[in-house]
């Protein structure tokens, strides 16, 4: 029997029920966003914390939060003041032997230097993002591309980034069509108005946001029929976002946090397990369960 791999008619209601029952505070305590929310009283400090936290968002959430805490401590406890005080001679050594997965202290130091330089031109990182959105062709992908290039090493600048640095900021318009999960996550934190996000960017509409497509969100989205694509990519980001936009056009990434942490927490075991899947609101929509009895 061929199962139609698309959202069921009841999926919007089931997704809203999943979100209503979701233990958001439990997952927020474990999410890198909790690190950034500590800075929410100041936009610039929030942006700096957000760029670092999202760039470090590789691996499990406990390790990410630990890496962020180590980085803040090595920066003297005040990321914003550290960025302000950086100069061309300091970024290579200012974070010493910092490591998180394959990320190194010299790369994070250079990111601090790029932020230092950007804040000499812009009041907020929302501005280079908006420049991209307003460019010919425009839109969210162009905004992300412009922001990614602003964070990379600059052509003609005698201070070049360390090996591997520019690869930390892929663009959705590059040939690889990366899903750009980490930078898309940063923009969600800054621009989405509703809790738990910060809503500090007031000129980027939440309606324009795109889903930060990590492995958890991709797996769940694919099995709910939100995309037919067999791998993570920018076209898959657009597919999933468009499917969710049909549910809430003004806030298409409203359910990103819930979908992501349903995977992270183990609430979705990614296999048929009636002991876990039985109470799940979206089980009737899941490709693993469609056409099967819950017994």
Predicted confidence band of residue 182 (pLDDT cuts 50, 70, 90): very high
User: To the nearest whole number, what is the mean pLDDT of the chain?
Assistant: 94
Residues 106 and 155 in one domain: yes
Q: Among 169, 187, 208, which residue terminates a domain?
A: 208
Residues 154 and 276 in one domain: no
Per-residue pLDDT, 1: 43
Burial 151-179 (b: 16+ CB within 10 A, else e): bbbeeeeeeebbeebbebbbbbbeeebbb
Residues 1 and 44 in one domain: no
Q: Among 166, 183, 208, which residue terminates a domain?
A: 208
The number of domains in the chain is 2
Lowest mean pLDDT, pick from 111-120, 177-186, 207-216, 262-271 = 262-271
Residues 118 and 221 in one domain: no
Residues 159 and 144 in one domain: yes
Distance CA 147, CA 221 (A): 26
Residues 35 and 134 in one domain: yes
pLDDT in tens, 35-77: 999 999 999 999 999 999 999 999 999 999 999 999 999 999 9
- The domain that holds 258 is classified in CATH as 1.10.1670
Residue range 185-197: average pLDDT?
98
Distance CA 294, CA 203 (A): 46
**pLDDT above 70 covers what percent of the chain?**
97
Per-residue pLDDT, 111: 97
Q: Among 169, 186, 208, which residue terminates a domain?
A: 208
**Which helix H or strand E contains 245, and what residues bound it?**
helix 234-245
Residues 72 and 198 in one domain: yes
Range of the domain at 125: 31-208
Q: Hey, what are 160's tokens?
A: 């070049």
pTM for the whole thing? 0.95
Per-residue pLDDT, 119: 97
Residues 227 and 124 in one domain: no
Residues 219 and 155 in one domain: no
């Amino acid at each position: 029997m061929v199962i139609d791999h698309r959202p069921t008619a009841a999926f919007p209601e089931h997704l809203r029920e999943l979100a209503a029952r979701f233990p958001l505070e439990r997952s927020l305590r474990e999410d890198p966003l909790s690190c950034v929310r500590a800075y929410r009283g100041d936009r610039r400090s929030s942006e700096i914390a957000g760029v670092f936290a999202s760039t470090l968002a590789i691996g499990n959430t406990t390790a990410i939060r630990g890496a962020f805490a180590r980085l803040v401590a090595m920066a003297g406890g005040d990321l914003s003041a550290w960025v302000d005080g950086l100069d061309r001679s300091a970024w290579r050594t200012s974070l010493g032997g910092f490591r998180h997965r394959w990320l190194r202290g010299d790369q994070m130091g250079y990111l601090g230097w790029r932020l230092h330089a950007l804040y000499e031109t812009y009041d907020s990182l929302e501005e280079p993002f908006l420049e991209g959105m307003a460019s010919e062709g425009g839109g969210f992908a162009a905004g992300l591309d412009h922001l990614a290039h602003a964070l990379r090493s600059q052509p003609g600048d005698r201070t070049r980034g360390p090996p591997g640095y520019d690869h930390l900021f892929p663009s959705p318009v590059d040939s690889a069509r990366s899903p750009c999960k980490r930078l898309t996550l940063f923009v969600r934190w800054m621009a989405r108005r509703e809790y738990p996000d910060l809503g500090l960017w007031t000129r980027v509409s939440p309606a324009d946001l795109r889903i930060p497509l990590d492995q958890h969100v991709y797996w769940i989205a694919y099995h709910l029929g939100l995309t037919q694509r067999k791998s993570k990519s920018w076209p898959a980001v657009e597919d999933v976002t468009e499917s969710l936009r049909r549910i809430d056009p003004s806030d298409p990434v409203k359910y990103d946090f819930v979908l992501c942490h349903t995977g992270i927490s183990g609430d979705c075991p990614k296999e048929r397990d009636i002991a876990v899947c039985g109470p799940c609101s979206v089980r009737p929509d899941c490709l693993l369960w469609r056409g099967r009895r819950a017994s």
